[in-house]
Chain A
Amino acid sequence: MEFILITGRTMHQGETIHQKCSEEYMKACAICEMNPEDMKEMGVKEGDVVRVSSEAGEVDVYVKPCEGLDRGVVFIPMGPWANAVIPAGTDSTGMPSFKGIRVRIEKSDGMVLRADELVMRYAYD
């Protein structure tokens, strides 16, 4: 299914920001919040792994319901998982487009990587 991706700060992301190689940081940031109706349509439940892909790349994260999001809009906390699908380019402002990215989301049987594993993968692969 196609979605618009918003990324941003959350309390849990901020709280774990200085322990980025930990499971806590992964739990806080390797998640994709989605409207429960969209989850139903995709056939996924909380904690399932979904693959989020854009023109920039793809990443596996856990899905989580969020009533505050409209259908068709998803949210991933700022961090390496979100940034794996943020495209290059800054529209001549210096600012990457961290919000409002077109993404495709599907159920995945992949594994969610820890932050350091993920960064190593996209830094050196």
Chain B
Amino acid sequence: MISAQNTIRPRPHTTYRSFVEAHIRQSIAQCYQCGKCTAGCPVAYTMELTPRRVIRALQLGLENELENSSTMWICLSCLTCSARCPREINIAGVMEALRLATIGKKPTPDQKKFRLFHDLFIMSFQFSGRAYELGLGMAYNVMSGQFLNMASIIPGMLRRGKLAFLPHKSRGSETQHIFQRLEGQNKAMNQAEAGTK
């Protein structure tokens, strides 16, 4: 029954919630749902579940909605929400926690595109130390099967110098260090996990 599925049956204590709260070291209950996060979010217009509603879903224990949501993958991590939250909740941190919580899970069709872009962005960054827009865009179009997506804007952007043919290599190797450090941490964590098992 559709209506029965739509009805909320609150479950305030979920593993999602504990995971998120542990990650941001704050209680989600603090949110009084004013909506300022959504109001300031530059990409909220593309979201089905706006940032306020993500928090609300966490409060009410709506795990399905969270798992099927693309909000955390759409999130740009610009931190406007966190900076402006009157209750000082780290909403961007919530999004980060939700990405971590769902990254191992099979993406929904909706999430697939966002996840793909996300992965390609990180790859591009790892490769050149900076975002390589043209390469990223082409890779995304090829891998998502929409080859000419936004192709019409490329000539203009090239002409105005907004896109470069070749990637800029960043000076030094700070970004490489970040990735190396993360890898090291991951390894240590995996070993520790294996040890406890």
A interacts with B: no
